[in-house]
Amino acid sequence: MNIEPVVAEVVARHARACGGKMSGVPDRSTVLADTGLDSLGFASVMVELHKALGHDPFADADEIYYPDTLGELIDLYQNGE
């Protein structure tokens, strides 16, 4: 499964729902803090991605890590496959 378009689309949709001014789909260099996602929006992204991709890369993490960019978030999911 190609994870990148799934993650990008979910982030874009939730960012727009939070009032972000995203047009189109973000790319790997998109800074998550600039998307307009608030903490509830980010949590909603994580829930939807868990359902869509079948795993949560944060669940097994030894320490909490918040990705700065969409690319870092995609990498977390790709490395957790």
Q: Which domains does the chain possess?
A: 3-79 (1.10.1200)
pLDDT truncated to tens, each residue of the chain (81 aa)? Answer: 799 999 999 999 999 888 877 777 789 999 998 898 888 999 999 999 999 999 888 887 788 778 999 999 999 888 865
pTM of the model: 0.87
Which residue is it, tokens 């490395």? 79
E strands within 1-81? none
For residue 51, the surrounding DSSP H or E stretch is: helix 39-53
Assess contact for 73 and 12: CB atoms under 8 A: no
